Structure 1
Amino acid sequence: MRIGIISDTHMPSRAKGIPQELVKGLKGVDLILHAGDWTKPEVVHAFESLAPIDGVAGNNDGEEIIRRFGRKKIITLAGYRIGMIHGDGVRKKTEERAWEAFADETVDVIVFGHSHVPFLRKHQGVLVFNPGSPTDKRRQPRYSYGVLTLANSIKAEHYYYDDKT
């Protein structure tokens, strides 16, 4: 199973539409997971035109997105438990907040966003993954997203590009 992982799209303020490089990269995925900060319900519909979608709401999302997705969840895909949270809050690094959100739960992967910084690390046997942002790179050199492959093992990769049009 191939899953596109995105976060922090901040559309339409950071991009008027889904970047073409992202559209190409998500082609053929079985599912898209969004780790929050969609910002507008129309963004959900835009991504649904590419593949089925699930996700969580971020700190810049309104009530409609919060009601649909919630702020934290665990989903099971291909036998793996995936924890999802945006990761906003105070104190500590974003990845630490994401880790702590699932400290009392059994998960194989934690997907988070908020920092716009691509992150990939295995911690105590759990893959912790932030795809970065496909539309708002902030201080990062390139825009990014991720692909999670679930088979006999879990594989996560970042993909980068320079043009968000």
Structure 2
Amino acid sequence: MKIIVVSDTHMPNRGKELPPVLIKELKKADMIIHAGDWNNLEVYEMLKEYGRVEGVYGNTDEQEIRDAFPGKKVLQAEGYTIGIVHGDGNGKTTEKRAFGAFEEKPDVIIFGHSHIPYVRFDHRVLLFNPGSATDKRKQPYYSFGILELGDDLRAQHILYKNKE
């Protein structure tokens, strides 16, 4: 199973359209996960053209996103448990807040908020932040993630300089 993972799209402020490199991968996705800061439902409408979309709201999301998505979610896919949370809050690092959001630890925790691509195991849990496909901030590249679930668990970032 191929899951495209995005977060912090901040659209339309940080882009009017999804980047072509992201669209290319969305066309091959079995599922799409958004870890918050969509900013409005138009992003959901764009993503759902490519398949099933799961997600959570982030700290900058409008009420319509908060009404449509929870702040935290756990789902099952291909025998894996995936937790999704934005990761905002006070104190600790974004990674520690995301890890601490789940009492029962899933196999994977997908989070956003920092706009920094991140992949690391912590206590046998894969922590995965896709970065941002449209708002790289101080990062050298825009990014999103690909999570592949099967006999093996694979996570990778797709990095690119131009979002046009």
Tell me if 1:117 matches 2:121.
no
1:2-151, aligned counterparts within 5 Å? Answer: 2-102=2-102, 104-151=103-150
Task: Check the 8 A contact 2:105/2:125 in 1, yes or no.
Answer: no
* Identity over aligned pairs, percent: 50
Q: Distance in 2 between matches of 1:127 and 1:118?
A: 13
Count residues with an aligned counterpart.
164
**CA deviation vs aligned residue, 1:72-99 (integer Å, no higher than 9, x gap):** 0100111111000000001111001001
Displacement after TM superposition at 1:25 (Å): 2.3
3-state SS, counterpart of residue 57 of structure 2: coil
TM-score by length of 1: 0.97
Amino acid at match of 2:115: H
Which sections of structure 2, spanning at least 5 residues, go unmatched?
none
Q: Distance in 2 between matches of 1:43 and 1:68?
A: 12
**CA deviation vs aligned residue, 1:23-50 (integer Å, no higher than 9, x gap):** 1122211010000000011111011112
Displacement after TM superposition at 1:51 (Å): 1.8
Q: Distance in 1 between matches of 2:129 and 2:85?
A: 10
**CA deviation vs aligned residue, 1:113-135 (integer Å, no higher than 9, x gap):** 00000000011111000000000
Which sections of structure 1, spanning at least 5 residues, go unmatched?
none
**CA deviation vs aligned residue, 1:4-63 (integer Å, no higher than 9, x gap):** 000000000000110111111222110100000000111110111122111000001122
3-state SS, counterpart of residue 99 of structure 1: helix
Displacement after TM superposition at 1:153 (Å): 2.0
Q: Distance in 2 between matches of 1:14 and 1:39?
A: 10
Runs (4 or more) in structure 1 with deviation over 3 Å come to: none
RMSD: 0.8
Displacement after TM superposition at 1:65 (Å): 1.1
TM-score by length of 2: 0.97
3-state SS, counterpart of residue 100 of structure 2: helix
Displacement after TM superposition at 1:64 (Å): 1.6
